[in-house]
């Protein structure tokens, strides 16, 4: 079982729709959770972090964390073609300095 | 403010050679991490340095080494290059303290091709 799992996609959504990206993790002591966006040929760019159970909203983005289910998700409202990218989920456990990344989900927003 | 800067951005080496990659963190950040990203995969942790000391090492062979300088910049060295070392090498800085998990901010990366 991989430590951080994401569906590789591609996930295709029409412009203006809500894109839902999911991530599960295996280490129950994980404390910190991050979503990154990576355009083809570029480096990862931090979208948001979440540390507590529940929802965290930032503009069109909402991160949702459920530690009991070991599940973190990212919702993108009013998806735009410019949101087309690979979205990486990253997890950090307490007591370590290592951030573990999933393989990413490729999102395609269709105009 | 300048972000994380890395150099060189692209380089081509042959098997058996050595490479040095450089990174300058965001001003005020004392932690630097190195990650390797192979095409189609997520970044894999190589090293983390904080206050010039190695704080973590990933599952990479001893051919990989790094150091952090007094100004918090960092170098990643890879000896005896193999074809499988071809990847995007990412440097990330964070405002990391003992009690703060910190968010990673990545540079643009150094794309290494080994022929």
Tens of pLDDT, residues B21-70: 999 999 999 999 999 999 999 999 999 998 889 999 999 999 999 999 99
C-alpha gyration radius of chain B: 13
Interface residue A90 vs chain B (CB under 8 A): yes
Chain B, nearest residue to A8 by Cα: B40
Number of Cβ within 10 Å of residue B73's Cβ equals: 16
HEC states along B2-60?
A: CCCEEECCEEEECCCCCEEEEEECCCCCCEEEEEEECCCCCCEEEEEEECCEEEEECCC
A50 lies within 8 A of chain B by CB: no
Q: Which of B44, B50, B56 sits opposite A96 (nearest CB)?
A: B56
Split at pLDDT 50, 70, 90, the class of B95 is confident
Q: Do A99 and B58 touch (CB under 8 A)?
A: no
Burial (CB count within 10 angstroms: exposed 0-12, middle 13-18, buried 19+), residue A85: buried
For residue B98, the model assigns a pLDDT of 56
Cβ <8 Å between A98 and B56 = yes
Partner residue opposite A103 with nearest CB, options B41, B48, B55 = B41
Q: Collapse the DSSP code of B85 into the 3-class scheme (helix H, G, I; strand E, B; otherwise coil) and give the result.
A: helix
What pLDDT, on a 0 to 100 scale, did the predictor assign at position A29? 83
> pLDDT band at A33, cuts 50/70/90?
very high
State how far the Cα of B91 lies from the Cα of B45, in Å rounded to an integer.
Answer: 10
- Tens-place pLDDT, residues B64-84: 999 999 999 999 999 999 999
Bridge pairing between strands B110-114 and B10-13: parallel
Mean pLDDT along residues A71-85: 97
Using the predicted structure, report yes or no on whether residue A70 has a pLDDT greater than 60.
Answer: yes
Residue among B41, B44, B106 whose CB faces A44 most closely = B106
In A, which residues are within 8 Å of B107 by CB distance? 43
SS3 at position B75: strand
Which of A43, A41, A42, A23 is closest to A100 using CA atoms?
A23
Angstroms from B110 CA to nearest CA on chain A: 10
Report the residue from A43, A97, A102 with minimal CB separation from B107.
A43
Report the residue count for chain A: 111
Mean pLDDT (whole number) for A86-100: 89
Chain B residues with beta carbon closer than 8 angstroms to that of A51: 101
Q: Closest by alpha carbon to A23, among A87, A77, A78?
A: A87
CA distance B18 to chain A (A): 23
What is the C-alpha separation between A84 and A104, in angstroms, rounded?
13
């Amino acid at each position: 079982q991989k430590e951080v799992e994401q569906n590789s996609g591609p996930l295709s959504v029409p412009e203006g729709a809500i894109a839902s990206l999911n991530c599960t993790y295996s280490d129950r002591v994980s404390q910190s959770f991050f979503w990154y966006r990576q355009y083809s040929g570029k480096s990862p760019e931090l979208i948001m972090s979440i540390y507590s159970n529940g929802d965290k909203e930032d503009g069109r983005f909402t991160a949702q964390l459920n530690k009991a289910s070991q599940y973190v998700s990212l919702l993108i409202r009013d998806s735009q073609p410019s949101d087309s990218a690979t979205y990486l989920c990253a997890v950090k456990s307490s007591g370590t300095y290592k951030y573990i990344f999933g393989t990413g989900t490729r999102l395609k927003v269709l105009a | 403010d300048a972000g994380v800067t890395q150099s060189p951005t692209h380089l081509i080496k042959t098997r058996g050679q050595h490479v040095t990659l450089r990174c300058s963190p965001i001003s005020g950040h004392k932690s630097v991490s190195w990650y390797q990203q192979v095409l189609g995969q997520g970044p894999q942790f190589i090293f983390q340095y904080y206050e010039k000391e190695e704080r973590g090492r990933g599952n990479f062979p001893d051919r990989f080494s790094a150091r952090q300088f007094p100004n918090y910049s960092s170098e990643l060295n890879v000896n005896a290059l193999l074809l499988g070392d071809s990847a995007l090498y990412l440097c990330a800085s964070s405002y990391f303290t003992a009690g703060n998990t910190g968010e990673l901010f990545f540079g643009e990366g150094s794309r290494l091709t080994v022929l």
